[in-house]
Every structure is written in C-alpha cells, then in structure tokens.
Structure 1
C-alpha cells in the first residue's frame, strides 16, 4: 500500500529541439519559464541524429554543436524515416515518456507523432503519447516528390490528445501555426508577442499553461504511479 507521503514520479516529457540547434539549447530556452511550470514535469532533451549541414540561426546566441532532425527543400524530404526510427529507439531505451514538447522542426515532429502512433505507421513500440506542447509548430510543406511515406495522409483525422500551442505574433511560421490548430481537437493556445523562439510566459501565458497542466493533472489523477506537483505550486 502506497504511503501518502511517497514520492511519485512526475509525467515525463521528451523535448525535441529546433533545426540546427540542440537539446542543450532547448533546455536553456525552456529554462526561462517559471518554476511553477517547470517543477511539474521531468524533461528529457536529446540531440537530433544528424549534425547540422549548414549555418545555424542561433550562432552568436548559443554555442555549438548543432543538429538537425531531417533535411527538406522544395522537392523532397530526406532522412525522415531515419529520424523517426531514431526517436522511437530513443523512446524505447530512455522512456517511458508521457508527453512531447517540440520547438519548430521538433514541433512539427511532436505534432504528427500521435497521428503516426494512432495509424500504426510508427511508434508502435512505445506507450501512447498523452499530451503535447508545441512551440512554433507546423505541418511539413507540400513537396514536388510528395511527402515521406510515413506522412502520406497525415492528419487525415484530427488528433484528440490534449495539446497546447505557442504561437508568436512576429513568428514567420505564425500562419502555418494557426493552420496546424485545425488538426487537433480543442487545442489550447498561448499567443505571445515575440518571433520564432521559445517565449517567456507573461501573466496570461502562464495562466493558460497552468490551466493546461491542471488538465493533465486530472488525466493522470487515477494513475497511482504518476502525479504532478502539489496544487499549491500552481
């Protein structure tokens, strides 16, 4: 029988960084959020499998090394299947993970992963992802040679797991971020005034984030092995 003071594990989040950055960089960016948010989860920040093949937009702000999940141009997307296999293998070896957080290119991957899992095209070896936090997310652009095989008919039906989307007023991906919302059932949204970055949370953003955490808390309340931090922290 579990004692009332026994420490229970917090929901674990796999965090997928942006294009030509790194897990360590995303960790530093997320670290700007208030403790009232961060203390509710255990975060894991892996690096993407491929070293950056060009200049990083964060040079001068954050040091190397830099990595990328896949490569894409107007014609085709390369290394996508290898990227998905890498993430699934990481989840098997280092999981289980309860949710995903993704920024930019990592946000694209986080957004589509529950759909791939539901359709049985990937992530069949890991537990069901229960929630998403997507920052500057997007859908993969239309390509001359068509989408990667794993993404044929992507988002053919809306994704039902709870999702929180952070969209910046000055983000060059703002419009595609709004388009992505249509692929989710009742998504929560934080609007911020910044560009393509992980924003600090203002009062309204923090309130929305904490309400989302409460929703996750309710979802996990029946599991005796998972608990968020005390509500007093909220």
Structure 2
C-alpha cells in the first residue's frame, strides 16, 4: 500500500506555520493526496526585528498573545556583519526533526525558500553520482552521517541565496537537488538580482515566473501546477502554468461543436517553455 508524499514546508520571514498554512489553503485542497508539514521557525520576532509593515512580507499584523499570530523567523539578518543570527540554531533544530521524520521534498517561501535550498545542499543527493556536502557544516551530522536521505525535489518561491559565510561555504560548489524556482516579475522584496544568486548555485533547476509580486501565486493554473509538482516532481512532464492556462482558456472558450476557438489576450508567461529541468553551471 503506497503512502502519501510528505513535504516539509517552510514559511517566510514574519510568518509562522499557521499563517503560511492558511495562505496555502487552496493549494492544500488541490493536493489533498500530499501531506504538507508546516513548521514554526524557532526564532520569535519583536517589532524591532521587523523592518516596516510585516503584512508587506506576508506576515501577521500583530502578535498579541495568540500563538497563531506570533511572527517568527529562521534567522535575523545583521547587515553590518553580514551575519544570519540564529541560522546555526535553526539548522540544529531542523537536523533533529529530519533525524526522526522522512520527507520526499521541501518547499519554502522567501526566507523559507533560502533555507530550503540550504537544506537541499546539506542532505546528500546521489543523482548522477553527485553528492551534496553535509560535512561543510559538521553540527548538521548525526554520528558522522547526514540526518536525512536526499530530497527528491525542492520548491523555492521568491527564494534567494543568503550572504552569510556559512551559506557561502555550503553552496561553494552548488547543489544538485532538482529545484523549482518560482519568481514574481514585480517582486520588490526579493529582487531579481537576489534570486539569480540562488539560481546560479542550483545545478538542476526549473524556473517559472508569474506576473505578481512577493507571494505564492494562487490562480487556478498555478494551483494545478504546484499541486501536480508536489505529487510527481521531479518528473519533466509537468506542464508549465502558462500551458495549463492556455488549455483552460481553450476549454472555456470552446464552441458548441466542441472545436476549440483561438485563445486571445495576454497569457501569463512561465519561465520554462518545455516544462523540463535544465542544467546550470
């Protein structure tokens, strides 16, 4: 009897497991056959830790005393020292979780996407006889071994490469886990330049773009695409969101005779025309 796929899901800065789970409610419904496991970042944020309005980052408007509204993070960024404060504690926290649970893949948004890439690089991947490098952060090992088998895939939405020295070490030769990168064309929180730095170290990548900003796209074509990706990645045969949208448009505008009519209007463009992973570096 086959078991459902399990995906580790990592929220963004100022969010938490509850907030991110609610924001992905439509995706969870479309991917009912996939178990999405949402974790809370171990670091609770104070107002002084949050630049500007947390809602602009997809987080809570207030923490109050409700645990479901407490803003959290995987680390606090210290620009003066180029240091991700708390990253080491987060990696140990995730090491202990990965040592007792198994996941087919990892998905993250924004800061969570940056972390998903780091985790993918730390868990060994034997595709094409290439190995990741967990030894580059020895505290991540358990009795000298990685705590978790390789992820089958990684999904990084609005991801970026952390500029911390530990991140540089982990990514020094890139990583091979098949990774779907989802970027918003009008994202002003994580700019194209920052996202490209993660793309540059992602050796086995697929890129899809949407017309919006700093969020996980939720239109029907994107929901269908992401749900299918979580089910069957890294299959190269998953149609891109733009192809799904074109098919939806053709179906909805079909003539009574059943013949499809031409699709008109601007179509949302995907970054992967053939829907396949491409080698990088």
The TM-score, its normalising length taken from structure 2, stands at 0.64
* Runs (5+) with no aligned partner, structure 1: 1-5, 142-146, 219-234
> CA separation of 1:100/1:208 partners in 2, compared to 1, >3 Å: closer, same or farther?
closer
Distance 1:212 1:97 in 2: 12
Matching of residues 79-228 of structure 1 within 5 Å: 79-93=86-100, 95-117=101-123, 118-120=132-134, 121=137, 122=140, 124-141=146-163, 147-148=164-165, 150-172=166-188, 173-175=190-192, 176-203=194-221, 206-207=224-225, 210=228, 213-216=231-234
Number of the residue aligned with 1:232: none
Structure 2 residue runs without a partner (length 5+): 124-131, 237-281
TM score, norm. by length of structure 1: 0.76
Pairwise CA RMSD: 2.6
Deviation of 1:11 after TM superposition, in Å, equals 1.7
Provide the residue aligned with 1:225 in structure 2. none
2:18 pairs with one of 24, 27, 32: 24
Distance 1:193 1:160 in 2: 28
Task: Tell me if the contact between 1:190 and 1:205 (Cα under 8 Å) persists in the aligned partners.
Answer: no
Deviations 1:8-52 (A, max 9, x none): 21221111111111011111122233744x134211011011111
Aligned partner of 1:226 in structure 2 is: none
Correspondence 1:72-83 to 2 at 5 A: 72-74=77-79, 75=81, 76-83=83-90
Mark the CA change 1:65 to 1:139 in structure 2 (over 3 Å): closer, same or farther.
same
Matched residue SS, 1:88: helix
Equivalenced residues, count: 204
Return the offset for 1:207: 4.3
Q: Does the CA contact (< 8 Å) of 2:44 and 2:73 recur in 1? A: yes
Superposed, which structure 2 residues align to 1:1-80 within 5 Å? 6=1, 8-33=2-27, 35-36=29-30, 38-54=31-47, 55=50, 56-57=54-55, 58-60=59-61, 64-74=69-79, 75=81, 76-80=83-87
Compare relative contact order (CA 8 Å, sep 6+) and give the higher one, 1 or 2. Answer: 1
Would the aligned equivalents of 2:174 and 2:202 in 1 still touch at CA under 8 Å? yes
- Distance in 1, matches of 2:229 and 2:69, equals 35
CA contact (8 A) 1:16 1:101 kept: yes
